[in-house]
Amino acid sequence: MSAAEISSRDPRAIGEGSARSRPGVLSRFGGYALLAALSYIPVLLSDPGRVAADTKSYLSLDVGRLMERAWSMWDPNIGLGTVTHQNIGYLFPMGPFYWVLNALGASGAVTQRIWLGTIIFAAGLGMLYLFRTLDVRGPGAVVGALAFMLSPYLLDYAARISVILLPWAGLPWLLAFTILALRKGGWRYPALIAITVQIVGGVNATSLIFAGVAPALWLPWAVWGSKEVSAKRMFAALARIGVLTATASLWWLSGLWAQGNYGIDILKFTETVRTVAKTSTAPEVLRGLGYWFLYGQDKIGPWIESALPYTQSVTHIAISFAVPALALLCATCIRWRHRSYFVLLAFVGATIGIGAYSFDDPSPLGGVLKLFATSSSLGLALRSTGRATPLVVLAFSVFLALGVSAGYRAYSARGRGKLGVISVALIGVLVIANLPALWQGTFYGKNLQRSEQIPKYWSDALAEVNKGSLDSRVLELPGSDFGSYRWGSTVDPITPGLIDRPYVARELIPYGTPASADLLNAYDRRLQEGLYESVVTAPFARLLGVDEIVVRNDLQTDRYNLIRPRQVWREFKAPQSGLEAPQAFGSKIPGAAFFPQIDEQALAFPANEGDPPPVAVVRVTSPLSIVRTKSVQGTVIIAGDGEGII
C-alpha cells in the first residue's frame, strides 16, 4: 500500500467517520479502559509509599494549612512577610483534590499518584473528545490519544511541578469546546471553556497562554480556512468566551496583578532567557522535549531521572524520533479538510518552542522572540517557550490518528483486516515504548523522595516551636537552597508548612522584599563562610522579631556546599550572649552524606567531639515583637545594605 493509494481515497473515508466505522459500546469501553490503565497503574507502581517533592510539599504535609493561607496575597508567615507568588492557584483544583483524598484516608504518596494519573487520563480523554468533535473515528483515535497523553513532554514536569501539566491536559478540551462554540453557538461551550480555564490555569499563566494558541488559531481558520462559520458568528462566540473566561478568572488574575505590582521581582531569580534557549533545538521540540531542566544534573545525579533514556539510550532516542517522523509521514499522505490547520498549529508551536535558540545567533523569528523576552516584563514572563511544545504534540497526535485509521481502513477494504490490526498494534506499541517511565517506574526521581512520615524529632521540635507567640518569628539556620534533608527531599523547607507562626530562612528563591532578602543573605553568608561572630545573632534575631532559632543539622550539606553540622553546632551548643542553652531533638543525624567531606575543615575537629543533634531550638532572651513602636529620639539611620547592618 503506497502513500499515493492512501492519499487518493475519499477524504471522508480517511479523516471522517461513517456509521459503519463508528465503534461499538464494547470497543469504546476497551479504549477508555486502556487509557485508564496506562494512566494510573504505572504511576501507582512507581516507588509506592514514597512521597515525591512535587509542586508544593505542603500539599502532602498539611494541605489544610496551605489552603487556609492561599486565599490571601499577603503572607506574614514567610520571609519577613511576602506577597505570594502563585499560591492563590492552589485553592483550585490541586488543593481541594489533595484535601478530599486526605479526608478519605488516602496517604500523601497515593494522593500524588492519583493526581498525576488523573492529569494523564484527562489528557487522553480530551483527545478522544477532540477526535469525536472532528469526526475522526477508527482505531487511530485511540492511538492518537495515547500519543498525546504518553508524550515525553509529560516527564518535564511530572515529578517536580505536575501542576504545570494541567494546561497540557486541558489543551484538547479547550480546542474541542472552541470548535463546538463556533458550530453550535449559545453559551454552553463558552461556559465550558471558562470552567476549563479555571481548572487548568490558576497556577501558571504562561502554560495557559501557550495552550490558548490552539483555540485562538481555530477562530480565523473556521471563518477563512474551512469556511464553517461566518465572521459575525466567530466574533459573537469570541465575545462570549472572553466575557465568561475573564470574569471567572478574576480570582487568580487578581493574584497576578498583586504579585506583579507589589511582590518581589521573582523573574530575576529564576531561569534566564539564555538558559531556556540552550536546549530548545528543533529536533528536541519535535520529540516533545527541549525543556532545559530536563537535561540538567548536579553532583547527586540528573534532575529528572526519567529523562535519561532520551539522551543516553540509542534505542529510546531512535523511538523518540520515530514517533514524530511517522506522524509527519501521515500528514503528507492524508487528505483532510482540517489538515492545513494542524500543519499551521505544529509550525506555530515549534516556532514558539524553539524560541530564541541559539541565543547568540537566533533565526529571524527567534531574534524577534529573543528581543521580546529580553526587553519587556511580559516577554520575560513568557520566556519558558518550551511550554508551547504541547501544540506540536497535539498536531502530531492528530496526524498519527488519521494515518493509522486510514491505513487500517485501506487494509480492511482489501480483505487484509488482520494486517490492519497488526499495524495498529505495532504503532500503538511504538507510542507506548516512547515513554519508558511506564515500565521503568521512574516517574518520581529517587533524589526527590521521602518517607510518608517526617522524622519524629522534627515533629517534636516543631510542636515545641508552635507553642510560641504569634507575635514573634522563627528563624531557621543554616540557610539552604532547597529543603533537602538526610532523610529525604522536600524542595520546600518543612517548617513553615507545619507551624502557625511566622517563619524566615535564607532560600535560593527569595521572599519578602529585596531589602529583607539582602539582610538574610548577608547574615547567612557570614555563617556559611566561617566569618560568623556569635555576638551578632541575638541583636539580629531581635531586629527580625525572632524569639526562637531552629538549628537544622540534618540538611544535605554536601549537596549544596553548606556549612558542616559540627561547625554550626559549635556556635550554638554553649549559651551565648542573648541566647539560651539549646534544646536538642533527636540523638543522631539519619542517613549518610552522598560524598565524604574529608578536608582540612573535617580534620580540624577533635576526634572525640560528639555528633550534633539533628535539630535544636535556641531561644532568644528579651525578644522583640514583629510589630513594635520605637521612639524617634536618638534614632540611628543606616544608609547601607545587609552587609553594612550585620
Distances (CA, A) of 609 to 418, 550, 570, 602: 75, 22, 10, 11
Record the cell numbers describing residue 308, joined without a space: 535519561
Amino acid at 340: S
pLDDT at 636: 79
Which of 403, 421, 446 corresponds to the end of one domain? 446
Mean pLDDT of 173-184: 98
Question: Among 52, 53, 77, 80, which residue's Cα sits nearest to residue 66?
Answer: 77
Question: Among 528, 498, 529, 496, which residue's Cα sits nearest to residue 512?
Answer: 496
Question: How far is 520 from 514, CA to CA, in rounded Å?
Answer: 10
Domain identity same for 439 and 512:
no
Q: What is the DSSP letter of 227?
A: -
The per-residue pLDDT for range 598-615, each reduced to its tens digit, is: 777 777 777 777 789 999
pLDDT at 8: 32
Name, in order, each residue with C-beta under 8 angstroms of 98's C-beta and a sequence gap of 6 or more. 59, 60, 63, 111, 115
Beta-strand ranges (E) seen in 118-198 are: none
pLDDT at 497: 94
Domain identity same for 399 and 434:
yes
H or E element in which residue 474 lies: strand 473-477
Query: Is 545 strand, coil or helix?
Result: coil
Place of cell 498583586: 258
pLDDT at 34: 93
Q: How confident is the model at residue 4 (pLDDT cuts 50, 70, 90)?
A: very low
Domain identity same for 291 and 330:
yes
**Domain range enclosing 619:** 454-645
Domain identity same for 430 and 499:
no
Domain identity same for 397 and 525:
no
* For the chain, percent of residues with pLDDT exceeding 90: 73
Q: How confident is the model at residue 26 (pLDDT cuts 50, 70, 90)?
A: low
Tell me how many domains the chain contains.
2
Amino acid at 57: S
Place of cell 522583640: 624
Question: Among 256, 310, 291, 296, which residue's Cα sits nearest to residue 385?
Answer: 291
Please tell me the least confidently modeled range out of 8-17, 171-180, 201-210.
8-17
**DSSP letter string, 53-113:** --S-THHHHHHHHHHHHHT-SEETTBTTSEE-SSGGGGGTTHHHHHHHHHHTT--HHHHHH
Which of 423, 446, 469 corresponds to the end of one domain? 446
Distances (CA, A) of 412 to 1, 28, 327, 415, 546: 12, 19, 21, 5, 76
pTM: 0.93
Question: Among 433, 486, 496, 382, which residue's Cα sits nearest to residue 68?
Answer: 496
Distances (CA, A) of 307 to 151, 232, 437: 12, 47, 8
Place of cell 521580546: 372
**pLDDT of 54 higher than 50:** yes
The per-residue pLDDT for range 364-397, each reduced to its tens digit, is: 888 998 999 988 888 888 999 999 999 999 999 9
HSE (side-chain half, CA atoms, 13 Å) at 244? 20
pLDDT at 470: 94
Which residues does residue 551 pair with via DSSP β-bridges, in sequence order? 477, 616
Q: Bigger pLDDT: 394 or 271?
A: 394
Domain identity same for 518 and 421:
no
- The chain-wide mean pLDDT, for the chain, equals 91
Which of 446, 469, 493 corresponds to the end of one domain? 446
Question: Among 8, 98, 103, which residue's Cα sits nearest to residue 54?
Answer: 98
The per-residue pLDDT for range 206-229, each reduced to its tens digit, is: 999 999 999 999 999 999 999 999
Domain identity same for 422 and 476:
no
The per-residue pLDDT for range 334-356, each reduced to its tens digit, is: 999 999 999 999 999 999 999 99
Domain identity same for 427 and 568:
no
Q: How confident is the model at residue 293 (pLDDT cuts 50, 70, 90)?
A: very high
Q: Are 252 and 194 in contact (CB under 8 A)?
A: no
Amino acid at 219: L
Q: Bigger pLDDT: 316 or 19?
A: 316
pLDDT at 530: 82
Domain identity same for 489 and 374:
no
Mean pLDDT of 296-320: 93
pLDDT at 578: 92
Q: Bigger pLDDT: 630 or 163?
A: 163
pLDDT at 3: 42
Domain identity same for 236 and 174:
yes
Domain identity same for 465 and 354:
no
pLDDT at 23: 57
pLDDT at 595: 79
Domain identity same for 597 and 459:
yes
Q: How confident is the model at residue 25 (pLDDT cuts 50, 70, 90)?
A: low
Q: Bigger pLDDT: 97 or 561?
A: 97
pLDDT at 16: 47
Question: Among 50, 226, 206, which residue's Cα sits nearest to residue 134?
Answer: 226
Name, in order, each residue with C-beta under 8 angstroms of 395's C-beta and a sequence gap of 6 or more. 342, 343, 345, 346, 349
Question: Among 488, 450, 439, 490, which residue's Cα sits nearest to residue 43?
Answer: 439
**pLDDT of 643 higher than 50:** yes
pLDDT at 401: 97
